[in-house]
Amino acid sequence: MKKDLNSEYRKAFIVGFICLIGIIYLIQLFRLQVLSPDYKDWADTNAFLKKVQYPSRGVMYDRNGNLLVFNQPAYDVMIVVRETREFDTLAFCRAVNVDIETIRRRFQDIKNKKLNPGYSSYTPQTFLTQLGNKEYGVLQEAIYKFPGFYIQNRTVRQYNYPNAAHVLGYIAEVDKQNIADDDYYQRGDYIGKTGVERSYEKHLRGEKGVEILLRDAHGRIKGKYEEGIHDISPSSGKDLTLSIDIDLQAYGEELMKNKLGTIIMIEPKTGEILCMVSSPTYDPSSLVGKQFSESYLDLVKNPYTPLLNRAINGAYPPGSTFKTAQALTFLQEGIITPNTIYSCYGGFPPGNGRPKCHGHASHIPLTSAIGTSCNAYFCWGLKNMLENKKYGSIQNAMNKWRDYMVAQGFGYRLGVDMPDEKRGMIPNAQFYDKFHKDKNGKPWWKALTVISIAIGQGEVTLSPIQVCNLAATIANRGYFYTPHVVKGIRDVEQDKNYTVPRYTGIDAKHYDPVVQGMRMAVTGGTCQGANISDISVCGKTGTAENKGRDHSIFMGFAPMEDPKVAVIVFVENGGFGARYAVPMGRLMIQKYLKGEIPDGDKPLETGMKNSIILRSVLQKN
């Protein structure tokens, strides 16, 4: 009985042990075949070669139908590391026109999972990118000599014009963060890095396809798997129509050559950006193909920062252009009326005051204050607003002022469809409470402490696009459309953010005296250089104080009664607004509204094109 019991125990143990081994094997098989990507990759690559089919990236046109950006064929060399065997390295180097050190480094980088996350020796990896037609032809004939290598068709960007680089942007190879953020991308893919290429990346890139090829037992391609019924065709990216007028853009870039700054023009009735010049600029075709790295490094090292889009990424004191926004605020709040008169006598406070003012008649109303750009007038207006008892405290008055500035498009990003837009700076009461305290540590400041913000100096900074948008808002008498550079996307409805007007909360009637003042500035005030006999231009100059030479600014719109264009010209270190910004604004308005520059303005055009302005600090270097 005892022996039988022991025998049963042994039998149960053996059966249990065998079952345990079987379960372990089953778990391991499940892990290898279902959970492990390496095994699946190995199994798939033994039988199939899955070739990614890259879509054609969407092309771009200007507002008049001119083709700006298109695609040309390019070729990448792909490798399945597991399939590589000994091959003639020197012959391969000659075929693709690279040195042997580059080949060795590429093998190391591909296998480095820090540089190449998700690396698998069973799946295709990008080995070399953007072969030229010559190298492609040589390699294509000899590809059978290099096991594990194959050629992947792609496209690269091409440009019809050497202009609008900051608007269009450029594409470059994805980095680790791009791959981590979006599983659409894998190493070797390209993505928009700046400009429209970046902000409309998901529309432009399209959808990848796949071609499944069948292998034999020796790994040789035998044709399409099941006659291609499992293949997925790529979907091309969406074509874009930009609001940019490329001829106007090119003209603006020519005027701004050898200068630092920006020219922006907006159609007030739509918010469409007609041109967005940032100077210095660069030829967009320089950041394409094998020359990309060298060209990009040269641009990065350039002390004049040509990669910076000053139109939206710059933040500057707006100077006297800001006075128009102050006038509107004071009118809406009842601080002044169009007939309110303030004294000047050369500055504020009168006499030996600061800010100073230039020579003009004293005791003037609002329109004359705008026309002559009187500093004192707007300082009086801000002082009377901040000290007005109806607000209860200077802090409440300051925050009320801030709210009007925000409503007019300052202090926050407008929402332009371009990356990295700067918000600028509009101070509030909390800002001044933090930096101005009495001996007991309590907030203490008064109107005279902050008075320079009334004339666009002090802590106030705006981006040039915000100042141009102010001109468009005044042109529309109280509302604006969010500025944008894309007019339409093929087969996609336009974003409603760009079709809905945004109101400032300031009554339309208050814009009339401001418009009259801007017209007076052109006909007999600070920007007479913008006076065109057959176009009723309204404008405002700005001379923004700077550590070096002042910045030259002109803001305006035309025609006065039926505005078709708003403009800002901003020339860094250009001095008085009338010196460079006003005449360049005059030329840009005529170029857009007339299509050409009249003979009488040809000498002015030549003078502006040939003028050179550089930062004094860089000249010393």
pLDDT, tens digit, for every residue of 71-91? Answer: 998 888 988 888 888 888 888
pLDDT of residue 620: 40
**Is the whole-model pTM more than 0.85?**
yes
Range with the poorest average pLDDT among 60-74, 168-182, 293-307, 353-367: 353-367
Q: Which residue has the higher pLDDT, 189 or 615?
A: 189
| pLDDT tens by residue, 383-415 | 999 999 999 999 999 999 999 999 999 999 999
Average confidence (pLDDT) over 278-301? 94
Output DSSP code: residue 488. E
pLDDT of residue 4: 60
**Total residue count of the chain as it appears in this document:** 621
Q: Which CATH number fits the domain 50-242, given the four candidates 3.30.1490.20, 3.90.1310.10, 2.60.260.20, 2.40.30.10?
A: 3.90.1310.10
Name residue 266's beta-bridge partners.
273, 566
> Which tokens go with 554?
């002109």
Average confidence (pLDDT) over 255-275? 97
| Per-chain mean pLDDT for the chain | 89
Q: Is 236 exposed, middle or buried (0-12, 13-18, 19+ CB in 10 A)?
A: middle
Q: Is the predicted pLDDT of residue 617 greater than 50, yes or no?
A: no
Q: Which residue has the higher pLDDT, 106 or 507?
A: 507
| pLDDT tens by residue, 544-588 | 777 778 899 999 999 999 999 999 999 999 988 889 999 999 999
DSSP string, 496-517: GGGTS-EE-SS-GGGHHHHHHH
The CA dihedral of 8, 10, 15, 17, to the nearest 10 degrees, is 150
pLDDT of residue 597: 97
pLDDT of residue 616: 46
Average confidence (pLDDT) over 146-154? 86
Q: Where are the domain boundaries for CATH 3.90.1310.10 in the chain?
A: 50-242
What confidence tier does 219 reach under pLDDT thresholds 50, 70, 90? low
| pLDDT tens by residue, 34-81 | 555 544 544 455 566 677 888 999 999 999 999 999 999 888 898 888
Range with the poorest average pLDDT among 25-39, 249-263, 264-278: 25-39
Instruction: Pick from 13-27, 110-124, 491-505 the range whose average pLDDT is largest.
Output: 491-505
Q: Is the predicted pLDDT of residue 360 greater than 90, yes or no?
A: no
Q: Is the distance from CB of 155 to CB of 74 less than 8 angstroms? A: yes
Q: Is the predicted pLDDT of residue 20 greater than 60, yes or no?
A: yes
Q: Is the predicted pLDDT of residue 151 greater than 90, yes or no?
A: no
Q: Which residue has the higher pLDDT, 616 or 511?
A: 511
DSSP string, 125-163: EEEEEEE-HHHHHHHHHHGGGSTTEEEEEEEEEEESSS-
pLDDT of residue 210: 86
pLDDT of residue 47: 65
Average confidence (pLDDT) over 298-307? 96
> Which tokens go with 202?
């998901």
Identify the three-state secondary structure at position 593. Answer: helix
pLDDT of residue 502: 97
Q: Where are the domain boundaries for CATH 3.40.710.10 in the chain?
A: 254-278+301-552+563-620
Q: Is the predicted pLDDT of residue 273 greater than 70, yes or no?
A: yes
Q: Is the distance from CB of 59 to CB of 70 less than 8 angstroms? A: yes
Terminal-to-terminal C-alpha distance of the chain: 106
The residues, ordered by sequence, that sit 6+ positions from 570 with a Cβ below 8 Å of its Cβ are 261, 262, 263, 310, 316, 464, 467, 551, 552, 553, 581
Output DSSP code: residue 337. -
Distance in angstroms (rounded) separating the CA atoms of residues 397 and 390: 9
Task: Find, among 382, 354, 351, 380, the residue nearest to 365 by Cα.
Answer: 380
Per 3-state DSSP, the chain is made up of helix, strand and coil in percentages (nearest 5) of: 45, 20, 40
Any idea which residue has 């037609």 for tokens? 133
Any idea which residue has 């996609």 for tokens? 492
Q: Is the distance from CB of 455 to CB of 348 less than 8 angstroms? A: no
Q: Is the predicted pLDDT of residue 436 greater than 60, yes or no?
A: yes
Determine the residue type at 96. V
% pLDDT > 70, the chain = 90
% pLDDT > 90, the chain = 62
Range with the poorest average pLDDT among 139-153, 365-379, 398-412: 139-153
Q: Is the predicted pLDDT of residue 621 greater than 60, yes or no?
A: no
Output DSSP code: residue 83. G
User: Which fold is adopted by the domain 254-278+301-552+563-620?
Assistant: Beta-lactamase (3.40.710)
Q: Is the distance from CB of 619 to CB of 282 less than 8 angstroms? A: no
